[in-house]
A and B are shown apart, each in its own frame.
Chain A
Amino acid sequence: MAADAAGGKGRLEVAVLTPMGPVVTAKVDAVIAPGSLGEFGVLVGHVPFVSGLGIGVLVLRTGAERERLAVGRGFLEVSHDGTVRVLVEQAALAKGIDVVAARAEADALGAELATNVAVGAARAVLADRAAWARARVAAAAGA
């Protein structure tokens, strides 16, 4: 989503909330989110909208500045008054991520996934943890 927000129309109010507490509340120009059907962008004036989010990287763009967060599963809602609420299981700001530890965890979990024969729920949990570690690496790497 490279399109610029229409000038003078104000900004998007975004709140990223998790069960462990609010992570970010900010006014930004655009939100780029890892939707369950693929990445999408939200600009000012978006229609009211609810989407599932997968594990991935959420980007908050303000002018040329980009703030990146790793996010877990959840939802993004654009409400009628144009505020954006991101409700996710977990979220980590790029600047707060320990890249080395996250990369080590991603590698270890990736290796375990390749060799582990678990199926069903156990495998899904493992895959989610690996995806969460990769998301943190990706978020921190782009910062």
Chain B
Amino acid sequence: MPSLKAIRSRIASVKNTQKITRAMKLVAAARLRRAQEQVIAARPYARALGEVIAEVAARAGDDAHPLLVTRTERKVELIVMTSDRGLAGAFNSSVNRAAERFTYERGADLEHIGLAVIGRKGRDYLRRRKVNIVRELAGVTSPTALARAQEVAAQVIADYAAGRTDAVYLVYNEFKSAMTQKVQVERLLPVLPAELAGPARTGDLAYEPTRAEVLDALLPLHVRVQLYRALLESIASEFGARMSAMDSATNNAREMISKLSLDYNRARQATITKELLEIIGGAEALKG
């Protein structure tokens, strides 16, 4: 049985931890609300853009634009979206594991897999693995997401157009709700119009200025917007995951405190009983 003092100090330390986890939970909840609004705001735009591209590209054919051409996949880039901070439950580890699985499964029939890692947690994890990191990016927050998406999109498009990559994939946490996130692996390049949901295609469209120029502006924009949306989804998921992780940590701390208090009271009662027995024993001995 640990001493009374030891139990008391453990209770104090668990209480402190509980305070921290509760504060983290509240902060995550506040940020989650903002991030969630941003994701929901970005979705209609991203979806409408996808539909417009589906309409235009489906009539244009595969060779109308370099970003529509499907090549045999030899050199692949995988963009991994993680967070900068931990303590978010399985948020980072599930993305990291999905990225690792991707490199194992596809590694055999590919010449080269390059990883573009966003977020410190992914970088730290993947650096210790036998993988090839070609790009690193940290410090992505909701206000900087648009600029960062543009930056990454420009690099990725340049690599694809120059033939340095044959396909680009994306691994990120899709935001389902505050409680659930789902790891998604999606293809970013080449753009496959068939995979984009679109209405039935009949007749042709008129273009201004020309179809080629419209595609030339639409496709890079699409890549940018997909990256932007994925970044926002990932940010919202991070806060959601952190909120539920910190919620259960707070609950665990409460349980632990009640168990320790019980131990403490038992130990105290045991010392009292022991002292009483000693007094009684002493009195009995004097009687004799």
Contacts and interface: CB of A to CB of B under 8 A. Distances in A.
B225 to A, nearest CB: 6
Interface in B15-57: 38, 40-42, 44-46, 48-49, 52, 55-56
Find the residue from B44, B204, B228 having the highest chain A CB count within 10 A: B44
B205 A20 contact: no
Give the interface size class of chain B: 20 to 34
Contact of A51 (B40, B41, B207): B207
Q: Dominant SS at the B interface? A: helix
Interface string B179-201: 00000000000000000000100
A19 B199 contact: no
Nearest to A86: B48
Contacts of A18: 45
B3 interface: no
Contacts of A48: 203-206
A80 B202 contact: yes
9 contacts: A17-B45, A18-B45, A19-B42, A36-B208, A49-B206, A51-B208, A75-B214, A75-B218, A77-B52
A47 to B, nearest CB: 6
Contacts of B213: 52
A87 B42 CA distance: 11
Contacts of A51: 207-208, 214
Contacts of B44: 15, 17, 21-22
Interface in A40-89: 40, 47-52, 74-75, 77, 79-81, 85, 87
A52 B214 contact: yes
Given A19-B45, A21-B42, A77 B55 contact: yes
B53 to A, nearest CB: 10
Given A22-B44, A77-B55, 17 more contacts: A15-B48, A17-B45, A22-B41, A35-B208, A37-B209, A47-B206, A48-B205, A51-B207, A51-B208, A52-B208, A52-B209, A52-B214, A74-B221, A75-B217, A79-B55, A80-B203, A87-B52
A52 B56 CA distance: 13
A75 B214 CA distance: 9
A85 B217 CA distance: 16
A22 B41 CA distance: 7
Given A19-B146, A22-B41, A50 B205 contact: yes
B41 A87 contact: no
Nearest to B201: A80
Interface in B48-71: 48-49, 52, 55-56
Interface residues of A, number: 25
Interface string A78-111: 0111000101000000000000000000000000
Interface of B: 38, 40-42, 44-46, 48-49, 52, 55-56, 146, 199, 202-209, 213-214, 217-218, 221, 225, 228
Nearest to A85: B48
Contacts of A36: 208-209
A50 B207 contact: yes
A37 to B, nearest CB: 6
Nearest to A81: B199
A50 B228 contact: no
Find the residue from B202, B203, B208, B228 having the highest chain A CB count within 10 A: B208
A19 B208 contact: no
Contacts of A22: 41, 44-45
B216 to A, nearest CB: 10
A40 B209 CA distance: 12
B243 to A, nearest CB: 23
A19 B214 contact: no
A3 B124 CA distance: 63
A51 B215 CA distance: 10
Nearest to A36: B209
A50 B209 contact: no
A49 B203 contact: no
Nearest to A21: B41
B18 to A, nearest CB: 38
